[in-house]
Chain A
Amino acid sequence: MSVDAQSQSVLAPGPWSKRFAAAVVILYAGLAVLPLLWIFLTGFKTPPDSIAYPPKFVFEPSLEGYVNLFTTRSRQSDDYLAGLPPPTNWVDRLVRSRNMVIAGPSKFGQRFVNSVIIGFGSTALAVVLGTLAAYGFSRFRVPLADDLLFFILSTRMMPPIAVAIPIYLMYRSLGLTDSHLGMILLYTAVNVSLAVWLLKGFIDEIPREYEEAAMIDGYTRFQAFWRVVLPQAATGIAATAIFCLIFAWNEYAFAVLLTSGEAQTTPPFIPFIIGEGGQDWPAVAAGTTLFLVPIVVFTVLLRRHLLRGITFGAVRK
């Protein structure tokens, strides 16, 4: 067999398959990003621009959507507006140009904070409980482990709405409806099944020898878990946390049913924005854009863990 200059590793893809793969990835990324881009742009349009036909790609950006998102306004007569002192800032000016005055802040900010508390709270709880449970299932002889694991998984198979009514009744009698604690517990309960399964897979991959070595080196089991298992499970924990957060962040059905004020999250709130004075698509788009930011930031922060492969190699198999 001749070895020419073009010869290459058996495992490395050739230039054409690389180009093809790149094309597929770019096409898919474009499809995935397009709606997000549209939402982002709509947030900076004026309401007439947002429903213009044919759609406008080039437009004069406006912050009206964001102003409308964060304020409640009331429509006033020209006479009334003329009698007011001149607007002191750009927000007032913008609102008055639409024949309105600011009546007060909207509830968006508070709903957003609710989402952050409930989303991140339940994610943290699900990941902590999930990691501990997964470690237990992975390392100890748990009676009926397979049945328990299947039971845990089965809670995930059921459509959440099937248990909505019982949970609603239960929450009402416990006084948990429309409370942060209630929503955190509910989302944790749903997410913990996913967390246990994902993390058990990751922890199973970490050879026991590491903990055994650490325990001989003078660490207790918990210290070995903390110093040796957790750092190596970081990839799995990050991936699990992202999945849990996405679920809790986007969840709609339970949020509609169980929250109305105090603890209402952003998803059931966004439809309310459409309400006053016609269809305020820029405000909806602005709310949606802001709603996406935490997930994006969280994912980008954990990206390193998601992309980094699990480190095999230091244990001879």
Chain B
Amino acid sequence: MAEVALDQVTKRFGATTAVDGVSLTVGDGELVVLLGPTGAGKTTTLRLVAGLERPDCGVVRIGGRDVTPVPPAERDTAFVFQQYSLYPHLSVYDNLAFPLRAPARRRPEPEIRARVAEIAELLHITHKLGNKATRLSGGEMQRVAIGRALVRRPSIYLMDEPLSSLDAKLRAEMRLELKRIQVGLGATILYVTHDQVEALTMANRIGVIDRGRLIQLGTPRQVYQQPCSIHVAERLGSPPINLIPADLLPSPAAPPGTRTIGARTEHLRLGAVGGPGPAALIRRVEHLGDQAHVHLEVAGHTLLTLADPHAPVRSGDRVGLELVGPLYFDGSGNRIGGTAAPGPASGAGGRTI
């Protein structure tokens, strides 16, 4: 395992700049999650680390060594592809053994057998080892693809939405398993996901990427509680953050220049009508089992928040609405007031150059 660093890395494809001046250090034994909308450049970032793409400018370092001109085979990374690609002409066993049979770092067969058996056990695919790689379900293929990375001990694991085609139960299980493996091995992982639960639970740090730029890097707590902009705030939180005009609800603490207020569900307090806040109309209540989504309407704006499923709220009711320590954003969408938002240049766990 090793520290991996990107320094001012830019990658263009014709007119599109897929990765734009990204500096990011993944510390030794750290798991960094890249979060961002589709087309943001997450996959490209992983490919740059793996050596499948050459940066137009900038430097990639693995374990302190400048590997920018080094071909993929010599970089010692393991990649779980978004479009997972098992070798279709090989069995599951041979797929898992493939990295260990590479001429450059060939292992003796008995060791390969033991290693493959161990990984297959871990990923619950032992009974499929004899199958051809094409005769698997999507979730099984994805687990084999993860297994093909895990059989090795590379300097960094690059995982591109590795759990995306698993069912919810298996995904939760694999998430824990991956995190356990990572902690156990002290593995360095750069991990791409769209799933915020994965991001929040697995990451040591989260990097938020948009249009090729790394716009915030920090611990899950920092990114969630102190997003540097509306854009980042929108990426995390369920239900998604409510964005309302500054003057909709009384907010005496709002710093000057506030144009938009971001109110997550924990920033909204429902009370009796006649309290400090204005009255809101409950439009709809959706029961989700352990909680309820409450759709509110205030002066033509709709807000979505959570309530206890036993709370005495019914659609058509009126409730008092109060803001408690929300997020404040200025006219250009940057967060203002409160604790300074850590930008991409600062963060815990690793240092960015």
- Seen from chain A, the residues whose Cβ lies within 8 Å of a Cβ on chain B are 207, 209-210, 212-221, 223, 228, 231-232, 311, 313-317
Closest to B89 in A: A231
Q: From residue A300, how far is it (CB to closest CB) to chain B in Å?
A: 22
Q: Which of A213, A215, A221 contacts B85 (CB 8 A)?
A: A213
Residues of A within 8 A of B86 (CB): 314
CA distance A232 to B133 in the complex (A): 13
Residues of B within 8 A of A218 (CB): 73, 76, 99, 102-105
Residues of B within 8 A of A220 (CB): 71, 73, 103-104
Contact B88 A217 (CB under 8 A): no
Q: From residue B104, how far is it (CB to closest CB) to chain A in Å?
A: 5
Residues of A within 8 A of B84 (CB): 315-316
Q: Is B87 interfacial (CB 8 A cutoff)?
A: yes
Known: A213-B79, A218-B99. A313 touches B88 (CB 8 A): yes
Ranked nearest first, the 9 interchain pairs of A and B with the lowest CB-CB distance are A218-B102, A209-B85, A217-B99, A314-B88, A215-B72, A311-B88, A231-B89, A218-B104, A314-B86
Q: Is B148 interfacial (CB 8 A cutoff)?
A: yes
Known: A216-B50, A216-B73, A218-B104. A315 touches B87 (CB 8 A): no
Q: From residue A227, how far is it (CB to closest CB) to chain B in Å?
A: 8
Contact A232 B148 (CB under 8 A): no
Cβ < 8 Å to A, chain B residues 135-162: 138, 141, 148, 152
User: Chain B 72-98 against A: per-residue CB contact (8 Å), 1 yes, 0 no?
Assistant: 110111110101111111000000001
Q: Is B52 interfacial (CB 8 A cutoff)?
A: yes
14 A/B residue pairs, CB under 8 Å, sorted by A: A212-B50, A212-B79, A212-B81, A213-B79, A216-B78, A216-B79, A217-B78, A217-B102, A217-B148, A218-B103, A219-B73, A221-B71, A228-B87, A316-B83
B contacts with A, residue count (CB < 8 A)? 32
Of A210, A221, A314, most buried by chain B (CB within 10 Å of CB) is: A314
Contact A311 B89 (CB under 8 A): yes
Closest to A315 in B: B85
Residues of B within 8 A of A213 (CB): 79, 81, 85, 87, 148
CA distance A95 to B2 in the complex (A): 85
Residues of B within 8 A of A221 (CB): 71
CA distance A317 to B81 in the complex (A): 12
Residues of A within 8 A of B315 (CB): none
Q: Is B134 interfacial (CB 8 A cutoff)?
A: yes
Known: A209-B81, A314-B141. A215 touches B87 (CB 8 A): no
Residues of B within 8 A of A219 (CB): 73, 102-104
Of A210, A213, A228, A315, most buried by chain B (CB within 10 Å of CB) is: A213
Residues of A within 8 A of B78 (CB): 216-217
Residues of B within 8 A of A313 (CB): 88, 134
Residues of B within 8 A of A311 (CB): 88-89, 134
